[in-house]
Amino acid sequence: MQLNQYIKEELAKPNKDILLMTHIVLGYPSLDINRQVIAAMVENGVELIEMQIPFSEPMADGPAIVKANQEAIEQGIRVKDCFAFAKEMTKKHNIAFLFMTYYNILLQYGIEKFCADAKEIGIKGFIIPDLPPEEGDDFFTLARSYELDPILIYAPTSTAERMIRLNQSASGFIYCVARKGVTGQQTDFDTAFNDYMAQCRTATTLPLAVGFGIASKDDIDQLRGKADIGVIGTKTIRLVNEQGVEAVGPFIAGLRY
């Protein structure tokens, strides 16, 4: 089932006006901890998980995720390990898993093989922040031929015209970056944000996910009625670092209700 369909069916369930997507950096602090964190997330209702394949130059990420990428690589994580782990997760958990990474990882793996292998292990889509449609349209078409959704990104700096252009290349859902900057800093949900979300909604019929700085129930409440998916990224990485894996379940459980 394609992501768009999955998201609509989940949203149609009683008492579900917003879905949750979380972010994992594979191999940080270890695949074993990733395994426990994912189990806790799924048990507490997360509908989508983006698994980041580490890259040495994570240009769009903030300090916490940069450090996670770097340490995972230093500890020896390989792309093939990420695929093996992802295969185990998709088998075990009946939610949607995506790969998030940078384009060079796909180029070195071979983009066709990357799509074929990702499809085979049950991955639903890709988020690649350094691949705009001007460079990526051929790849996006290839991905769709494997029934994988390339997730495109809207930014607060995107004009209405640009959003329509991006929508032409997009499928699954749109990832709306909540503010300028990199991951892991606070976001203000002010009038400008509401205008931005309204503009996003006008530009596409795809579901909207909102990420960058979403860290609490208050933040999720702010997104209700404006977005279809709230994305929790850096927050759970910090939580595991500071309070351990046990803190993840209760945190996720408290985000929506």
Q: Given the rule CB under 8 A, which residues bind another protein?
A: 54-60, 62-63, 66-67, 70, 73, 78-79, 102-105, 107-109, 129-132, 134-135, 152-159, 162, 166, 177, 180-182
DSSP 8-state code for residue 97: E
Which residue in 47, 61, 117, 149 is the catalytic one? 61
Is 161 catalytic? The answer is no
Annotated catalytic residue 81: no
As measured in angstroms, the least distance from the Cβ of 22 to another protein is: 21
Q: Give the residue with the Cβ less far from another protein, 37 or 207.
A: 207
- Considering beta carbons, is residue 6 or 55 the nearer one to another protein? 55
d(CA 152, CA 132): 8
Cβ 105 to another protein shortest distance, Å: 5
Do the Cβ atoms of 248 and 256 come closer than 8 Å? no
Residue 79: CB minimum distance to another protein, A: 5
Which of the residues 10, 47, 50, 228 is marked catalytic? 50
With respect to another protein, which residue has the nearer C-beta, 98 or 166? 166
The CA R_g of the chain, rounded to the nearest whole Å, is 17
Which of 130, 221 has the CB closer to another protein?
Answer: 130
> Distance between alpha carbon 142 and the CA centroid of its chain, in Å?
20
Cβ proximity to another protein: between 107 and 164 the closer is 107
Give the C-alpha separation, 106 to 145, whole Å. Answer: 16
Q: What is the DSSP letter of 149?
A: E
* Dihedral of alpha carbons 135, 139, 144, 148, sign: negative
Residue 171, both tokens: 């499928």
CA distances from 219 to 42, 229, 252 (A): 20, 12, 13
The rounded distance, in Å, linking the Cα atoms of 233 and 52 is: 10
In whole angstroms, the minimum distance from the beta carbon of 109 to another protein comes to 8
Residue 241 half-sphere exposure toward CB, CA atoms < 13 A? 13
Catalytic residues: 50, 61
